[in-house]
Amino acid sequence: MNEHSNVTETDSLLMARNLSFYIGEEETVTEVGRDSWRDEGHEASFNIGDSQLTSFCTADPSTPVNKRGSFTSGTPGEILCKGDSLAGSYTNSMLVVPKPLSEYGEESSEAQYNLFTGDFQRVDHRLKLFFDVEVFEENTEELQCFLKLSTVKFGDAEEVPSLLVVSDHWIHVLVICSEIQGQPSDWLRKRESHCIAELSYLEVGLGSQSIRAEFEDSGAAYTLLIRDRAKCKSFFNLLTGIIRGFAPNSDSKLKSISTTRVNPQHHLWPLLCENVESDISEDSHIDFFYLLAFLVQDGSLAPVTVLVTQATLYLLSEDHQWRKGMSSQTSNENTESISGTVHIHETQPISCVSSVHLFLSSPYRVDIKLYDEIAKDEKTWCLQTESQDLVKDLVEWVRTQWEAMFGVKLNTTLHETGS
């Protein structure tokens, strides 16, 4: 980590100095060189939450679009568009609608297959047999852990419902190709397999809600969307322990284990610095809240990113493609991340928030009601998340900023059921 940076992270408070953002635990997720891995023995324990899925295709990011009277291309770090409807940001959408854990009965296929448990190493006997017979490359492979999540592979913006299966030698990416019912062979197929020794980069994504991985043999790079901070940290901790076991091996290609940096090359940088003075001093910091969620719209759910600064709420569609790009051809192999683009769906001042609504029957849901007094326009952001803790953190962030503006309490209502 940059010795000139001063970084802290509370549960939902992300702060950075010197125009660079580092999101993650400084002591538990660090840059690791191949020669220094033996000193990086930090492993932390975290609680675990839930993970759910969706699948979609984003619009072509190379299409020039207009923003504030000017057109921009689809190069990383640029804002592509503002849209009146989130549906306009997707093509050929096929959504697997996520449901809160409380809505899955004990007899559901998802529950029976143990896909929501916090124990990533406890596997249903039918899945274990499927892994042994259909997935594992070698007879000697032993299952280490697995997790239901969504994957985005570099070169393809589509988000794919997946099962990540890690053995003692391989990482297997399985696609959930249909409704989860019947035998595993009915709804699972193997997409790709990568030797753990070929893993070159492992990175915790922004807000600790995703994991990025790149492999040297094929150059394949994945973003693993978990959308739950506690579960993401816990799984990353387990995965890191397995991967570090290969570090002494002369065949290991591991170069670093790191956290995401939001710098001027990151696609969210223009939004985070939009209302910030250019001459930020060394002691200055920019605070923001980041959430991967789903927007309930016209009876369906669409993946969105909620980005909240001290004054503004952004509803975004992110292209989650990522890889480590070579920034020089020197022997040191300095690298920088190549991230995707962002489409602005909607921007609202926090001052326009009129009330916040929570639901006992749907603890993963939050409704933010907004009212524009000038336009006399009222609307609601109905958000579905995969983490109760992140719902609480979002509400707390908005409440704190809103009450600092008006000096009165924000109207927050807890309902028995949702409409």
Mean pLDDT within 22-50: 38
Alpha-carbon distances of 372 from 305, 321, 353, 369, rounded to whole Å: 22, 35, 9, 10
Residue 161 scores a pLDDT above 80: yes
**pLDDT classification of 69: cutoffs 50, 70, 90:** very low
pLDDT value for 126: 92
The pLDDT of 94-119, averaged and rounded, is 55
Percent of the chain with pLDDT over 70: 66
- pLDDT recorded at residue 235: 95
Size of the chain in residues = 419
Residue-level pLDDT at 269: 87
pLDDT per position as a tens digit, 363-405: 999 999 999 988 889 999 999 999 999 999 999 999 999 999 9
pLDDT at 123: 85
pLDDT digits (tens, 9 = 90+) for 275-298: 665 555 434 467 899 999 999 988
pLDDT at 37 over 80: no
Give the residue with greater pLDDT, 260 vs 412: 412
> Worst-scoring range by mean pLDDT, 62-71, 159-168, 287-296, 330-339?
62-71
pTM, entire model:
0.74
Please indicate whether residue 415 or residue 122 has the higher confidence score (pLDDT): 415
Asked if pLDDT for residue 348 goes beyond 60, the answer is: yes
Higher pLDDT, 262 or 222: 222
pLDDT at residue 1, as a whole number: 44
- Per-residue pLDDT at 220: 95
Mean pLDDT of the chain: 76
Name the band, by pLDDT with cuts 50, 70 and 90, for residue 87: very low
pLDDT over 90, % of the chain = 52
Give the integer Cα–Cα distance in Å for 164 and 149: 7
Has residue 259 got a pLDDT over 70? yes
pLDDT greater at residue 112 or residue 357 = 357
Contacts of 371 (CB under 8 A, 6+ apart): 352, 354, 377, 378
Which range of 64-78, 93-107, 378-392 scores highest in mean pLDDT? It is: 378-392
Secondary element (H or E) of residue 170: strand 170-176
221 alpha carbon, distance to own chain's centre: 15
Tokens of 359: 């639901």
Q: How many CB atoms lie within 10 A of CB 285?
A: 17
* Region 168-181 average pLDDT: 93
Q: Is the pLDDT of residue 41 over 60?
A: no
Q: Are 30 and 37 in contact (CB under 8 A)?
A: no
Alpha helices in 148-276 (DSSP H): 184-187, 229-244, 269-272
- 130-157 pLDDT, tens digit each: 999 999 988 889 999 999 999 999 999 9
- Give me 23's structure tokens: 């999101």
Above 80 in pLDDT, residue 321?
Answer: yes
DSSP assignment string, 17-86 = STT-EEES-TTTS----TTTGGG----------------B-B--TTS-EEETTEEE-S-TT-EEEE-S-G
The per-residue pLDDT for 108 is: 52
**Which tops the pLDDT comparison, 31 or 342?**
342
100-to-83, 322, 330, 361 alpha-carbon distances in Å: 28, 28, 49, 9
Token couple for 150: 């969504």
What pLDDT, on the 0 to 100 scale, is given for residue 67? 34
For residue 338, give the amino acid letter.
I
- Residue 279: per-residue pLDDT: 54
